[in-house]
Chains A and B, each alone.
Chain A
Amino acid sequence: MAEPLIPVTALGGTAPKVQGFGPLTLSERPDVALASLAPLRAGQLPDLPLPGPKDLAEAGGLWSFRTTAEAWMILAEGRAEEDFAARIAALAPGCAVTEQTDGWAMIEVTGEAAALERLLEKLVNLDPALLAPGHAARTALHHMGCFVLRPGAGQLWLLGMRSSAGSLWHAVAQAVQFQVVTLAERAQD
């Protein structure tokens, strides 16, 4: 009888926000499902990709990266509407699994690798080697705690607290915009 509830994205829209700036495109990714996973003493390590502290791993459509010294985040594209945590928990008996899908807002930045790397210089204080493809890091971005994931050379995933998605979008979009203008000015010099 009850009509299902209609979700809104972290930026408050009914559809994900997408915006292109020169060589780079920003997209809100509300389709991404997240669950944290921390092995407990009684359990054993599940058969999931569980990479080292600086890495981003993928197997069977499940991405994974470390969140703490003892825990990982499991990420899947296109599965936000599932009870993702319950499915991961079923795969990981004896692990503490917590739903995190709506704890985070993901902004994807795609485009030229060189432009992405220039963008990262303006966002996070990390050696670029830590953000090469296949790497993940948690750090501060404009005073916001964020995960920075690099699934591919031309692809960057930024995960920030859902509640500050607007501030995160602003920070990234503005940095991209400044880069585009500066490059155009340099070209004229």
Chain B
Amino acid sequence: MTRLSGGLIDRSKVLSFTFDGVRYSGHPGDTLASALLANGVQLMGRSFKYHRPRGVVSSGSEEPNALVELRSGNRQEPNTRATVAELFDGLEARSQNYLGRLDRDLLAVNDLLSPFFAAGFYYKTFMWPKAFWEKLYEPAIRRAAGLGRVAEGADPDAYDKGFLHADLLVIGGGAAGLAAALTAGRAGAKVILADEDSRFGGRLLAESHLLDGAPATQWIEGVLAELCTMPNVRLLPRTTVFGVYDHGIYGAVERVADHLPTPGAGVRQTLWRITAKRAVLAAGATERHIPFADNDRPGILLGGALRAYANRWATAPGTDRPVAIFTCHDEGHRTALDLQARGVPVAAVIDSRNDAVAQGDYRLIAGGQVSGSQGRLGLRGISVTTASGTEAIACGALGVSGGWNPNVHLSSHHRGRPVWDDTLGAFVPGPGGPGGLLVAGAARGKGSTALALADGAEIARQALAELSITAPVIALPQAEDTAPNGTTLWHVPGKGRAWVDFQNDVTVKDIALAHKENMRPVEHLKRWTTLGMATDQGKTANVTALAVMAELTGKTIAETGTTIFRPPYTGVSLAVLGGGDTGPDFRPRRLTPTDVFAKSQGAAFVEVGQWMRAQYFPKPGETHWRQSVDREVIAVRRDVGLCDVTTLGKVDVQGADAGEFLNRLYSNMMGTLKVGMVRYGLMLREDGFAYDDGTCARLAAHHYVVTTTTANAGLVFRNMEFARQCLWPELDVQLISTTDAWAQIAVAGPKSRALLERIVDGFDLSNAAFPFMACAELTICGGLRARLFRISFSGEMAYEIAVPARYGNALMERLMQQGADLGVTPYGTEALAVLRIEKGHAAGAELNGQATAAMLGLGRMVSQKKDSIGAIMSRREGLAGETRRLVGLIPEDGQGAIPGGAHLFTEGAARNMETDQGWVTSTCHSPHLGHPIALGYLEGGDTRLDEVVIAANPLEGTETRVRVVSPHFIDPEGERLRG
């Protein structure tokens, strides 16, 4: 155990966890990384490409190395940074990307083969022989290179989403963020303060600085206590704001229960969509390392991370040897002092500056650079080179401090280009970033505690002033205010491999090679070397890499420029992006009014858009769907059937100009329809092709009810509103959907009238009083208001009866009961389809967007007397000249199935595009005729009755000889309808 005194861990509780099967213990407040270090574990994984042993480098979300698998079974989660995984009792963690044992990874051979894996190797190697790629190279690379393994099964946890609105979103809860939130909170603004950590405070938690002479945690707790009392402030700990979107919309993930073994009955994570009038980015800064030969050994960390582990988590890596510091900056000296204060021996501070001065009682090597390291699985010592030679220093850990890079990420999400600040020696947020996003504190280079506090408060005031909210000047605590003092040191020159990007295994040599191969623009450098393209997006690597490139090209860093960051800031799980709705709740379902009845009958259901419709109603003994469907079809043709047709879109059209409005929407005349009558209507698209069909019932002079197909209900309504609002707002007409309000049941078959007579309240259903295409409002079953339409989709005498939706189920049951002696039969969508094919009615397969009214045999429905949507374009040459027509098709041998989608050819003709005569649109078995039938479009079809053509299905290599017949397989004269 390497526990120091102090720290922000709760020593009163012990948490037990395992890493690679070995049991360890830690405390609440620990991360997996801090607990492993406290247990003396430094080796945490293997690198991506070369399988080099790796340990933790950082103490935060920028971690490139310590990626582990957490949990097991279906909760197994790869590539979690040990530095942000909160420890809980029973946590299971495993290292990843090795073969055999972590400490004896068999794939470490890759490291010896490194000359073959140089920059751009993806593009250069494994290119030949070509056939080897798929069979040999790719599988081998996939096995060797990679990260963790995902769970095989479905994620058992729940996720959800939510929406927040604020005047000011503060991103990051360190010194600047807390000052910003407090300023805005006291101003009464609606504030959200989000921080990725479980605890607010940012670097204040990691440093030893005092605020007003007391530990920083005291001030933090005071601020949080005050913020908690403000109803206008929302605190979101464990929440990463991962992206900025247009107009002040921010994506954030709250890890609600990642710190618990399981979320239980709650959610694991919440996806927040935050709409904020202004935002303050107070995301702090990330420390730079300094590449030198073999700088990737476990035990070599960022200096700031060493301080964080010592101050916050009371631990230090390297148990048996002292710690060394490598710096070009005063920061390194602070690390030495903090470690010494916690009782950690310091071997030396190696400062590259010749004029460096020791700030305490430790050995200083001024003008020195670390030029190498030793130790197989953990650091044992370093080589230090000065003007006078090279010295070996034994140490168990090395803290490297190369200065700080402001966390500009979110400010570059709208192509905002960071700009180089020579004084700071860093990129700071530039112009052109997301509107409404202001940057404060270390994220724009104001890194001392005092500067960050003041800047957070000031930027919040500026942001609120833009919203005309005056914020008070708040009292800030006395804080450390040392000006940054240091130089930049981008890498230590030398022969060995010096790592720049740890996660993707990119070295200084790789950058030099890219330079040699002329991949010099930063975007090319990035892609050629894969630098910054790992899961950490190069948070610890990018700036160093382009500085090295600048050095090689002899340009300044400002001239070299930088790449920009995309969302997400850190990885976001697909599960939380999905928002949690899975399985049957994946999307809303719409149930028909007779759903209870259909389920009681054991109906099979089919999804039609969002609707769940009864597909067929199997009876005991029926083992194949065709048996049920054939029986249902025959019942309609012989007796009477019932089908829920509520799903057809219904639109109520009212107003003095309702008739004129419908005249312009439908290709045929609707204004001339008599009250109490229904007319079939055809809508065209403005380009002249057939769009949708339905019926139009005139209930009163200024009141119509129109129906649409089920599939197009929403679209047609949208188009009707477009016509009303955008084309002809001068018309006096109002629209509202009534699809859900009325349950509508088709009562179809020769006995339909007999059945309905049993439920209507003294309404005369005789042909004379209520002929084909009549409609009426009436009452049924002793006073219930209803609407009756004498329309038919099946070709039989038929009605559709509508009642308020809540009565739909009871009406269905009543009709079943009243019609028992008439052979009444419920039928589903399959029988509905068979009935309409037998009758030759067009449906979705015929109204496919490529059909003209003439092709459907409805050419006469396009009125030549008036304008309507699509009328003009339907008359243009290409459409008017269309000669394919809807025909019926029957197999010449009387039994062969006619495949849907088959193309039609003249007998003896070649089978190619030039000779194509049309295609089969709909096909089924006709129980009425006892053989397969089909509908299709055939060139000149109306003049080719009785001709035999070929229905070819080249996909399966089959052909069927089919005879062309009328598309009306039953009752072509329409006598049944009018009976």
Direct A/B contact, Cβ within 8 angstroms: yes
Bound together, the chains give a CA A164 to CA B165 distance in angstroms of 28
Q: Contact check: which of A9, A96, A122, A142 meets B655 at CB < 8 Å?
A: A96
Query: Who on chain B is nearest to A37 by CB?
Result: B734
- Assess whether B595 is interfacial by the CB under 8 Å rule: yes
Complex contact A102–B591 (CB within 8 A): no
Interface size class of B (residues with CB under 8 A): 35 or more
Bound CA–CA A127/B166 (angstroms): 8
B736:A5 contact, CB within 8 angstroms = no
A128 within 8 Å of B (CB atoms): yes
The complex places the Cα of A103 from the Cα of B736 at a distance, in Å, of 11
Q: Given the complex of chains A and B, what is the CA–CA distance between A5 and B702 in angstroms? A: 31
Are B810 and A127 in touch, CB under 8 angstroms? no
Instruction: State which of B18-26, B107-115, B155-163 sits at the interface with chain A.
Output: B155-163
Within 8 A of B (CB), among A1-46: 1-10, 12, 30, 36, 38, 40-42
With known contacts A5-B784, A30-B806, A166–B163 Cβ distance under 8 A: no
Residues A161 and B275 in contact in the complex (CB < 8 Å), given A41-B732, A102-B804, A185-B266: no
* Contact A96–B734 (Cβ < 8 Å): yes
CB contact under 8 A between A102 and B163, given known A125-B275, A182-B267: no
CA–CA, A36 to B734, complex, Å? Answer: 11
CB contacts under 8 Å to A, within B191-246, are: none
Chain B CB within 8 A of A79 CB: no
CB-based A-B contact count at 8 angstroms: 158
A98 touches B781 (CB 8 A): no
Inside 8 A of A132's CB, which chain B residues have their CB?
none
CB < 8 Å neighbour of A127 from B165, B734, B737, B781: B165
Is B654 touching A185 in the complex (CB atoms < 8 A)?
A: no
A169 to B655, CA, bound (A): 36
Cα distance, A91 to B454, chains bound together (Å): 64
For chain A, residues 48 to 76, give those with C-beta under 8 angstroms from any C-beta of chain B: 67, 70-71
Q: Are B266 and A122 in contact (CB under 8 A)?
A: no
In the complex, what distance in Å separates the CA atom of A178 from the CA atom of B263? 10
* Chain A, 70-109, CB within 8 A of any chain B CB: 70-71, 80, 83, 96, 98-104
Whether A115 sits at the interface, judged by CB under 8 Å, is no
Contacts of A166 in B (CB 8 A): 589, 591
Q: Is the CB of A185 within 8 A of B264?
A: yes
Complex CA–CA separation, A83 to B777 (angstroms): 13
Chain A, Cβ-Cβ closest to B647: A163
The chain B residue with its CB closest to the CB of A127 is B165
Q: What residues of B have a CB within 8 angstroms of the CB of A175 in the complex?
A: 160
| Contact flag A142-B732 (CB < 8 Å), given A6-B810, A102-B804 | no
Q: Are A164 and B161 in contact (CB under 8 A)?
A: no
> Which residues of chain A have C-beta atoms less than 8 A from B805's C-beta?
10, 102-103, 162
> Is residue B99 contacting chain A, with contact meaning CB distance below 8 A?
no
- Bound: A7/B740 CA distance, A: 15
Which residues on the B side are within 8 Å of A42 (C-beta)?
656, 732
Asked whether any CB of chain A lies closer than 8 Å to the CB of B100, the reply is no
Question: Hey, what's the 0/1 contact readout for B464-497 against A, CB within 8 Å counting as 1?
Answer: 0000000000000000000000000000000000
Q: A2-B781, A8-B596, A102-B805 are in contact. Are A185 and B260 (CB under 8 A)?
A: yes
**Interface segment, one of B310-318, B580-588, B829-837:** B580-588
**Complex Cα spacing A20 to B421, Å:** 59
Contact A102 B654 (CB under 8 A): no
Quote the shortest CB–CB distance from B721 to chain A (angstroms). 9
User: Which residues of A come within 8 Å of B, CB atoms?
Assistant: 1-10, 12, 30, 36, 38, 40-42, 67, 70-71, 80, 83, 96, 98-104, 121-122, 124-128, 142-144, 161-168, 170-171, 174-175, 177-178, 181-182, 185
* 15 cross-chain CB contacts under 8 A: A3-B781, A5-B784, A5-B807, A5-B814, A9-B806, A10-B806, A38-B654, A96-B654, A101-B804, A126-B163, A162-B740, A163-B592, A164-B588, A167-B585, A185-B266
Q: Which residues of B contact A (CB under 8 A)?
A: 158, 160-165, 256-257, 260, 263-267, 273, 275, 581, 585, 587-593, 595-596, 610-611, 646, 652, 654-656, 702, 732, 734, 736-743, 759, 761, 780-785, 803-807, 809-811, 814
